[in-house]
Amino acid sequence: MSGLEEAQKVLAAQPFSALLGARLVAFGDGAATLELDIREELRQQYGFVHGGVLSYAADNALTFAAGSAAGGGVITAGFTIDYLRPAQGAVLRAHAEVVRAGRTRVVCRCDLTTVGEDGTEALCAVAQGTVSVIGRPA
């Protein structure tokens, strides 16, 4: 089983990720990309993707990127997110990369973009986070 397939199994085991319909489309070498289709029920009252959905995508992408560098057994210690523009489109994409991987902490950054029906991408938020290495869970 490839690293991507193993990581996809981890994502599939997360009930909240399944509820949102998230999918891991890239994983490895200190990076991860998570996508989800933008559906009506993920929007807030003005029709934009809810900030909580953007935060979820950043959190999970940051942690998967860290896990690809640390070998698994990671958990979010904290992250910040800056919303740059309202998120609109067909797909939300969160691409995270490791900035520095230490023995117990991994620092990552994440760009969140929306992809329109025509393939046009728009950067809508950026995040940076710290992920704790806890070792392989039992």
Mean per-residue pLDDT, 53-68: 98
Q: What is the 3-state secondary structure (H, E, C) of the chain?
A: CCHHHHHHHHHHCCHHHHHHCCEEEEEECCEEEEEEECCHHHECCCCCECHHHHHHHHHHHHHHHHHHHHCCCEEEEEEEEEECCCCCCCEEEEEEEEEEECCCEEEEEEEEEEECCCCCEEEEEEEEEEEEECCCCC
* pLDDT-above-90 percentage for the chain: 94
Q: What is the pLDDT of residue 49?
A: 98
